[in-house]
Structure 1
Amino acid sequence: MSSIVMYHNPRCSKSRQTLALLQERGIEPHIIEYLTTPPTPAELTQTLAALNMQPQELLRTGEDDYKTLDLANFDGTNDALIELMCAHPKLIERPIVIHGEQAKVGRPPEAVLAIL
């Protein structure tokens, strides 16, 4: 298994571009299609730490779930938000590439090159 992990959504153009960028460099990451296999709260917490981000920074604010759950007015704990993100994985920004203790969101796709 690759030491590089990618949270991937094959329907997302940025996710596909990021995967292609890695593959062009001979890297075959371990792919996690996070919409079908969402991260656990512990995994997402660890990923957030590697990204050096707060849960709110990883939210996709344009998603219907964001509006339905009224997350613009969320006043709960980070742990509660992480639980929601795992229960509704469409809320998680993509793609995320993890290499060791570091991670980057592939927006733009070239951003992930900083951790390779």
Structure 2
Amino acid sequence: MLTIYHNPRCSKSRETLKLIEEHGDMVEVVEYLKMPPSKADLKKIVEKLGIKPHDLIRTGEAIYKEKYKGSELSDDDWLQAMEEHPKLIERPIVIKGDKAIIGRPPEKVKELF
């Protein structure tokens, strides 16, 4: 079973979901803008990705530029920022067990098959 943190308005997210469905895997779709992950969930996600919280931030988003650009925040503060502003979360994130990938490019999801 795969879980995808998905934004249906994002072409990369849609392409990644399509690859999963074509492969025939069971998938749980989490529209993270409607149901944002908690700070605890985000911590688990970055651990599975093997990255720092700041590496999961979409630095091109307006909210980042307005509130966070140039900020030196702790990992905990970045997790809090993503919880408060889920638009900051890079997408799509696909999880299978203890492994996760960011589907950029979408073909990276094949690493989990």
Structure 2 SS opposite 1:42: helix
Letter in 2 for 1:34: Y
* Greater CA drift, 72-81 or 55-64: 72-81
Which residues in structure 2 correspond to 1:12-31 (within 5 Å)?
A: 12-31=10-29
CA RMSD of aligned residues (A): 0.8
Corresponding position: 1:39 with 2:32: no
Letter in 2 for 1:68: E
The separation in 2 between residues aligned to 1:76 and 1:91, in whole angstroms, is 14
Tell me how many residue pairs correspond in the alignment.
113
TM-score with structure 1 setting the length: 0.94
Q: What residue number does 1:84 align with?
A: 81
After TM superposition, where is structure 1 displaced by more than 3 Å over at least 4 residues in a row?
none
After superposition, what is the alpha-carbon deviation per residue over 1:50-95, rounded to whole angstroms, capped at 9, x for unaligned?
00011111111110110111x2222221101101111100000000
Q: What residue number does 2:107 align with?
A: 110
Letter in 2 for 1:110: E
Structure 2 SS opposite 1:10: coil
Corresponding position: 1:75 with 2:69: no
Structure 1 SS opposite 2:69: helix
Q: Taking every aligned residue pair, what percent have the same amino acid on both sides?
A: 46
Q: What residue number does 1:64 align with?
A: 62
Structure 2 gap ranges (5+): none
The separation in 2 between residues aligned to 1:4 and 1:106, in whole angstroms, is 13
Q: What residue number does 2:3 align with?
A: 5
